[in-house]
Amino acid sequence: MAVDAKTVKELRDKTGAGMMDCKEALEKCDCDLDKAVTYLREKGIASASKKSGRDTKDGKVVSYIHPGDKLGVIVEVNCETDFVAKGPEFGEFAKDIAMHIAAASPRYLAKEDVPEEVLEEERKILATQAQNENKPEKVIEKIVEGRINKFYQEACLLEQAYVKDDKVKIKDFVKSGIAKFGENISIGRFARFKLGES
């Protein structure tokens, strides 16, 4: 089945993938647009890990102010080129991350950013909780580690479940961005401001 340029363009607009990739996807999926989107995503996510080591020296800083003007977020989302950074879809992607930060209130970007003293304090509290629940001494360490993982999922942005789709973690949402834009994407810094909070 011949692939017409209009369908290729439509797929490119939907996914941000390259023209040749779009043509190949449509050929493999008998010009079925939805199947081609899935094909590109699967192919892209598989190749996303190859891109994750590349430098992200471009990008944009976006802000999100929650209605009512009492909560705001500033976040730096990085990519490899200004071509991607200037695109409206990248802006929407970055805005989605800012809105997630506003809703989920992460304290750290990644597990590695949690200070050791914070983890130690958390471990002590969790061990005391387990003892107060009369858990056997030999399983307390396992319980603490399980609850530390839960702590990471609540406190670290990349480990959080994405508010728009709780089956996806933010780190997976970033990987889907890598697949979509064909470049490495990373989240730099972020700040969340809530009126009255120090």
pLDDT tens by residue, 121-172:
999 999 898 888 888 888 888 888 899 999 999 999 999 999 999 899 999 9
3-state secondary structure of 195: coil
DSSP assignments along 25-90, one per residue: HHHHTTT-HHHHHHHHHHHHHHHHHHHTTS---EEEEEEEE-TTSSEEEEEEEEES-HHHHTSHHH
Topology of domain 115-155 in CATH is GTP Cyclohydrolase I; Chain A, domain 1 (1.10.286)
Predicted local distance difference test score (pLDDT) of residue 46? 46
CATH ID of 58-109+156-194, from 1.10.3720.10, 3.30.479.20, 2.40.50.100, 3.40.50.10860: 3.30.479.20
Average pLDDT, the chain: 88
**Domain 5-51 architecture:** Orthogonal Bundle (1.10)
Binned at pLDDT 50, 70 and 90, residue 78 comes out as very high
How many C-alpha atoms does 62 have within 13 Å on its Cβ side?
23
Averaged pLDDT for residues 101-114? 95
Predicted local distance difference test score (pLDDT) of residue 53? 61
User: 89, exposed or middle or buried, with CB in 10 Å at 0-12, 13-18, 19+?
Assistant: middle
Does the fold of domain 115-155 match that of domain 58-109+156-194? no
The region that residue 134 occupies, defined by phi over 0 for left and psi between -120 and 50 for alpha, beta otherwise, is left
Predicted local distance difference test score (pLDDT) of residue 71? 95
- Would the pLDDT of 41 be above 80? no
* Beta-carbon contacts of residue 142 (< 8 Å; ≥ 6 apart): none
pLDDT tens sequence across 172-191 = 999 889 888 888 999 999 99
How far apart CA 66 and CA 162 sit, in angstroms, is 17
Q: Break the chain into its structural domains and give their ranges.
A: 5-51, 58-109+156-194, 115-155
pTM more than 0.85: no
Predicted local distance difference test score (pLDDT) of residue 120? 92
